[in-house]
Amino acid sequence: MLKAERQDAILKLIGAMRIARQSELVQTLRDHGFEVTQASVSRDLEDLGIVKINGAYSQPERAGNAFGIGLINIESAGDSMIVAKTYSGLASASAVRIDAAKIEDIVGTIAGDDTIFIAVKGPKEQRAVIKRLWELFEEK
């Protein structure tokens, strides 16, 4: 099966059930007909920006925040760029929150209406910044 199908299945599974460990997710995917390894699932979780909230994996868009400013999606774009999507009109406020967090590996941000371009130092830092951004906007 294709990577996109597997990642879609991961999002559906963690949205439908509480999964606290990668080994649980691997077994559940296998039960649903996916031939996966723990390493491939680990990479998928990183690619999708999945975070643990209260001890269980959670879909990023379900992570809200105290100010009602929510990220809808975060994707890598090239080796040193991240594109974050917000609800219409909220990109600027979300970028202010990102800038205020002073995440060391972020070089700068540019916000439009519903899109934020986030420049990072390099590809190694990119995944860590994506994870940190989801954590920044998760409900506390």
Rounded-to-integer distance, Cα 68 and Cα 77, Å? 26
Q: Selecting from 3.40.50.150, 3.30.70.20, 1.10.10.10, 2.60.120.260, what CATH number does the domain 3-60 have?
A: 1.10.10.10
Q: Selecting from 3.40.50.2020, 3.40.920.10, 3.30.1360.40, 3.30.1360.70, what CATH number does the domain 64-137 have?
A: 3.30.1360.40
pTM: 0.55
Rounded-to-integer distance, Cα 64 and Cα 102, Å? 20
pLDDT at 78: 87
Q: DSSP letter at 21?
A: S
Ranges of residues in the chain with a pLDDT under 70 are: 1, 59-70, 139-140
Contact criterion met (CB below 8 Å) for 13 and 24? no
pLDDT at 41: 92
pLDDT at 21: 93
Q: Take residue 114 and report the two structure tokens written for it.
A: 């519903």
Domain assignments of the chain as residue spans, ordered by start? 3-60, 64-137
pLDDT at 15: 80
